[in-house]
A and B are shown apart, each in its own frame.
Chain A
Amino acid sequence: MTLGFEPDPCAKCEEMLQPYLDRELTDTERNEAEGHLDGCSYCRKRYRFEEELRRFVRQAAVEEMPPDLKTKLAALRTPLH
């Protein structure tokens, strides 16, 4: 059985892009993806783009909790008798 990239290595690499960035690939799959990325500047560019895009969205989407909410949540605790 072959886990190689034929017939279309870039298509296979593309398929692995999301789980790769989500750190959900097995060691074998990750090695396979990284092996291809080492030699393929097109896929490397795509991976870098996806990574950068995620970082950007994540940074923009994170909103810290208002401080008074924590006080409100703490007030919901069961009172000690």
Chain B
Amino acid sequence: MSETSPEAEPRKLAEDARDRVRFEEEALELADQVYRVARRLVATREEAEDLMQETYARAFRAWRSFQPGTNLRAWLLRILTNLNIDRGRRVQRAPDTQPLEEGDYFLYNKLQEGGDSQEERVDERLSQDDAVSALSAVPHDFRDAIVLVDIGDFSYADAAQILEIPIGTVMSRLHRGRRILKKELADRTVGSGV
């Protein structure tokens, strides 16, 4: 037998509605930040918009599974990255054999050529479009880690939780991903004659 008093049920419903509204408002406030990450996890703006709508639709349905007091932005991005995987957008696998040994210094050395100030060299020899296309050329697994940490400002621990991989794997993907990114940027630099 339930011991619920006649007044308890409406009160419970009202509390539930209040919690849900609060959750939805907080989630919407984070939409700009979530979108910045989403936009670089996929190739086009349209894909990013679709992914955002799917993510928010799912989050609003599953709001009870969010634990208040934990990181809502990371929770939303975990849904988003899972949806991204489910939708089969990760056909491309990471090339493990790409020679990158010199990758870390290659861009540095290339931008050094004929220049005095490092800062000026980056801006002068690479356009914003170069940076975006170089990032897009990084295979998904590596790019996800870079986008979460460098654009989303997530810690290694948060990125590990979002991607459901160990922290050590986040670190190695970042390490390798940034090397690939630098190699891609080096290929796009102008004026070196290489």
Chain A interface residues toward B at CB < 8 A: 18-19, 22, 24, 45-46, 48-49, 52-54, 56-66, 69-70, 72-74, 76-78, 80
Contact B39 A73 (CB under 8 A): no
Where chain A touches its partner, the secondary structure class is: helix
Where chain B touches its partner, the secondary structure class is: helix
Contact B36 A62 (CB under 8 A): yes
**Number of B residues whose C-beta is below 8 Å from A?**
46
CB distance from B169 to the nearest CB of A (A): 14
Contact B49 A62 (CB under 8 A): no
CB distance from A1 to the nearest CB of B (A): 22
Contact B35 A65 (CB under 8 A): yes
Closest to A73 in B: B56
Contacts A52-B119, A58-B151; is A70 near B31 (CB within 8 Å)?
Answer: yes
CB distance from A10 to the nearest CB of B (A): 12
Contact B128 A59 (CB under 8 A): yes
CB distance from A55 to the nearest CB of B (A): 9
